[in-house]
Amino acid sequence: ARKRQRYVEKDGKCNVQHGNVRETYRYLTDIFTTLVDLKWRFSLLIFILAYALTWLFFGLIWWVIAYSRGDLEHLGDHSWTPCVNNLNGFVSAFLFSIETETTIGYGHRVITDTCPEGIVLLLLQAILGSMVNAFMVGCMFVKISQPNKRAETLVFSSHAVVSLRDDRLCLMFRVGDLRDSHIVEASIRAKLIQSKQTQEGEFIPLDQTDLSVGFETGDDRLFLVSPLIISHEIDERSPFWDVSRGQLERDDFEIVVILEGMVEAT
């Protein structure tokens, strides 16, 4: 069999690469989806940087406040009330920033009530820290719960067959679910991907044509408890109606099957 370049791989990944994208700013306007679509190594890197840079930024501000108030010049002076007790340098300011944003609160370094700028900064860091937590944790949760892993336990037959069923010629394949938790409101559809030329001479690459798998009768809505046979009847409305067996073996086309539904557990 000759090697064909697939439009959609067997694992469901679309074999399409985007190039010459000029308006790249659109990816930043939808930053949440952009982060979810990134590879895991980049997502983890951004996750770590988001927290590390926030801690460093606020740690630097805490150190600047202590330096500008003269707290670092009165270390050990018990008559002096600093903005933050036991803050004696940038490292301790960085640790205090981590304790504030993560609400650890070890108790050794604590803000005093004689520092209004510190109180304002404490409020800002607490609010911003909550926003960073909500954004990054939400992003990681969505990335973990993406349905591509659930699809690993949905099994399609390795080959499709054309055969008679009830004296009608049909294209058939099977699909089954390996898990005990069912796919709720499962529906299936099929697309024929094939380049074609119109009657006006226009060439359409990768044209998509619907293959009926029971939309009119409701058979496309599946009760996927046991393996099911999905059938496409080759009638006058089918794109395979005028195709012979020899032409079917020679033609360059692809059938993409799309199964959609909700996971019962989630």
Together in a domain, 257 and 169: yes
Give the domain range for residue 168. Answer: 152-261
Looking up residue 237, the CATH number of its domain turns out to be 2.60.40.1400
Give, for all 266 residues of the chain, the pLDDT tens digit. Answer: 556 778 888 877 888 877 777 777 787 888 888 888 888 899 999 999 999 999 999 999 999 999 999 989 888 888 889 999 989 999 999 999 999 998 888 788 899 988 999 999 999 999 999 999 999 999 988 888 777 777 888 899 989 999 999 999 999 999 999 988 888 899 999 999 998 888 898 899 889 999 999 988 889 999 999 999 999 999 999 999 998 888 888 888 999 999 999 887 77
0.75 cut: is pTM over it? no
Whether 166 is covered by a domain: the verdict is yes
What count of Cα atoms within 13 Å lies in the side-chain half-sphere of residue 206?
8
In a domain, 6, yes or no: no
pLDDT at 152: 83
From 143, 173, 198, give the residue that closes a domain: 143
Q: Which of 215, 226, 221, 220 is nearest to 180 (CA)?
A: 226
> In angstroms, rounded to a whole number, what is the distance separating the alpha carbons of residues 34 and 26?
10
Bridge partner list, 232:
171
Burial state string for 193-212 with b = 16 or more CB within 10 A and e = fewer than 16:
bbeeeeeeeeeeeebeeebb
Q: How many domains does the chain have?
A: 2
pLDDT tens digits, one per residue of 8-67: 888 778 888 777 777 777 878 888 888 888 888 999 999 999 999 999 999 999 999 999
193 within some domain: yes
Q: Per the domain annotation, does 17 fall within a domain?
A: no
The pLDDT score that the predictor gives to residue 143 is: 86
Q: How far is CA 9 from its chain centroid?
A: 18
Residue with tokens 């499962």: 186
Q: Which of 81, 116, 143 is the last residue of a domain?
A: 143
Please provide residue 88's backbone torsions phi and psi, each rounded to the nearest 5 degrees: -120, 15
CATH label of the domain that carries residue 50: 1.10.287.70
